[in-house]
Amino acid sequence: MKKIIGTLFLLTILSCNSSKNKPKEENLNEIKKPNIVIIYLDDLGYGDLSSYGATELQTPNIDALANGGIKFTNGYATSATCTPSRYGMLTGMYPWRNKNAKILPGTAPLLIKTEQQTLPKLLKNNGYQTAIVGKWHLGLGTGVVDWNQHISPGPNEVGFDEAYIMAATQDRVPTVYINNGNVVGLDKNDPIEVNYFENFEGEPTAISNPEMVTMKWHHGHNQSIVNGIPRIGYMKGGKAAKWIDTDMADHFLEKTQQYVKSHKEKPFFLYYALQQPHVPRTPHPRFVGKSGMGPRGDVILQADWIIGEFIKTLKDEGILENTLVIFTSDNGGVLNDGYYDDAIEKIGKHKPNGEFKGGKYSIFEGGTRVPFITYWKGKIAPQVSDAIVCQIDLLASIAQLIGTKETSTDSENILDVFLGTSQKGRDHLIIEATGKTALRSGDWLYIPAYEGKNFREEVGIEVGNFPYEQLYNLNDDRKQQYNLANSNPEKRIEMKQLFEKLRGKDYTVGVKEVTFE
Ligand code: NG6
Ligand code: CA
């Protein structure tokens, strides 16, 4: 019944929309399909937005989406790190089904199989133009990549018509933009070489030449130096192609604005993957010092401004009312992720992950519970939703939105929830943090016993490993302070059984300790 109401609602809004635009008959199908934009932040925590409770940072542009759309309070990334979350969102498959879905080096091969179903492929096959601008971090090529030739397979081979990306992360080499498989601005006489195991002879690193470093490394991040920032991995050559860190956010914004302007005549899907507030945090000079919280706060303010500009572009181009905007983040927040950048010293009262325990890398809620907003001007009624939703569900839900079905993955069709006509989200969800998995079902969270340390000194985060089972009621105990595994054995056993049914009994196989240098 709810499905029927949802579908009726959608048909009504689509027909309202099309009658308002008075489309020509032959354009009817295309105009009926809304544009879809996913704005995806990197390491933005649940508590980093004023609409999600931050008092020390003001994020008015993102708040406008949260307040004008659906603000989900139980919205999840699949994972507490980047690569697996992006893999889950784009393929609709739980990342723990793919043993290689873990934080990838810049030289990793493409993680998504070219024959695999993906969100951009689904949309492309249904008449959409598709594009990614921003962070990729899902591998490129099939083994050894020659960065001086056309790089393939990559995003273009898994469904994106257009791909303007950075290969991995802002802290990993190669520090260049790649446009549809070609390094932007490459001088063929200065070829790029990349290696994650050994340095190139004579190339400076943060260890050999600490005087060249302007942002000090704390753990890891002591290899090649680019723009004074020491990175993960070694890189040689490509001088003219290297990005300017402080310009990156504006650069990606410009690319998305150009894309919107030149593709607005037909429906498009744009995956806009901002690099902020991941390390190294490099605000443009006009945002430096604006937050009083150091670079981490500054880049959040910059990202908020950028998103405001992007939404303004949709508006100015007259397509805001025909665009579904989804805003979320790939994992929870972290303060010290490898550089000394005042994130800890200047944090004050701010809580990047709100009241949730843990953060990035953590199986506690701070790792995967993230801001999650759906916004569709004039179509989605503003509201707060406590339904459990996950980024993995976008595939099947968007399939429904465009009038098709997608049932072959872990993705659940909860379109009604994303459009706000139902509050009934997922019954259960498996979340993941650096290979370790846990079960959310209803109000409950079950974490099996795992080996390894709970507290990661380097990042200052409790990741949730204990040699005994944990059971929390997230409704009564949002901070995960009371482990009820012993006092409520019935629930624990019920959760464990469901977990093992969904996940399989060999869930510790292949789970390795993540170590930081
Ligand atoms: C870790 C990096 C961290 C960050 C992370 C990936 C070290 C010591 N730490 O290995 O700085 O780059 O990988 O972050 O190298 S993610 O958001 O892309 O998952
Ligand atoms: Ca991330």
Report which ligand 1 atom has the smallest distance to the Cα of 135: 18
Atom 12 of ligand 1, nearest CA residue = 171
Residue among 188, 183, 231 at smallest CA distance from 207: 231
**Four-CA torsion 122, 126, 129, 130, nearest 10 degrees:** 0
Distance CA 496, CA 493 (A): 5
- Cβ atoms of 277 and 300 closer than 8 Å: yes
Residue 412 is predicted with a pLDDT of 98
Is the pLDDT at 251 greater than 70? The verdict is yes
- Cis preceding-peptide flag for 280 (omega within 30 of 0): yes
* Per-residue pLDDT reduced to its tens digit, 282-324: 999 999 999 999 999 999 999 999 999 999 999 999 999 999 9
Evaluate: CB of 42 within 6 angstroms of ligand 1: yes
One-letter amino acid of 432: E
Using the mean position of ligand 2's atoms as its centre, give its distance from the Cα of residue 43 in Å. Answer: 4
pLDDT band at 515 (very low <50, low <70, confident <90, very high): low
Report which ligand 1 atom has the smallest distance to the Cα of 83: 19
E strands, 323-459, are 323-329, 372-375, 383-390, 428-433, 436-441, 444-447, 455-456
Is the pLDDT at 30 greater than 70? The verdict is no
- Cβ atoms of 73 and 365 closer than 8 Å: no
Report which ligand 1 atom has the smallest distance to the Cα of 172: 12
Is the pLDDT at 13 greater than 80? The verdict is no
Atom 5 of ligand 1, nearest CA residue = 103
Evaluate: CB of 85 within 6 angstroms of ligand 1: no
Residue 511 is predicted with a pLDDT of 76
Q: Give Cβ neighbours of residue 391 (< 8 Å, ≥ 6 apart).
A: 75, 76, 77, 78, 85, 88, 89, 328, 372
Using the mean position of ligand 1's atoms as its centre, give its distance from the Cα of residue 86 in Å. Answer: 14
Residue 399 is predicted with a pLDDT of 98
Q: Ligand 1 pocket: which of 40, 82, 103, 341 to mutate (most atoms <8 Å of CB)?
A: 103
The pairing of beta strand 436-441 with beta strand 470-473: unpaired
Evaluate: CB of 105 within 6 angstroms of ligand 1: no
Residue 509 is predicted with a pLDDT of 76
* Per-residue pLDDT reduced to its tens digit, 408-459: 999 999 999 999 999 999 999 999 999 999 999 999 999 999 999 999 999 9
Residue 512 is predicted with a pLDDT of 67
Is the pLDDT at 268 greater than 50? The verdict is yes
Domains annotated on the chain, with CATH? 32-187+241-420 (3.40.720.10), 431-503 (3.30.1120.10)
Residue 514 is predicted with a pLDDT of 59
Evaluate: CB of 86 within 6 angstroms of ligand 1: no
- Burial readout 205-222 (b: 16 or more C-beta within 10 A, e: otherwise): bbeeeeeebebebbebbb
Evaluate: CB of 171 within 6 angstroms of ligand 1: yes
Q: Ligand 1 pocket: which of 232, 275, 336, 461 to mutate (most atoms <8 Å of CB)?
A: 232
The pairing of beta strand 383-390 with beta strand 436-441: unpaired
Among the listed ranges 3-17, 77-91, 201-215, 463-477, which one has the minimum average pLDDT value?
3-17
Residue 269 has φ and ψ, to the nearest 5°, of -120, 125
Percent of the chain residues topping a pLDDT of 70: 93
Task: Tell me what the pLDDT averaged over the chain comes to.
Answer: 94
Report which ligand 1 atom has the smallest distance to the Cα of 219: 8
Element holding 368 (H helix, E strand): helix 365-368
Residue 14 is predicted with a pLDDT of 47
Quote the pTM value.
0.94
Using the mean position of ligand 2's atoms as its centre, give its distance from the Cα of residue 119 in Å. Answer: 20
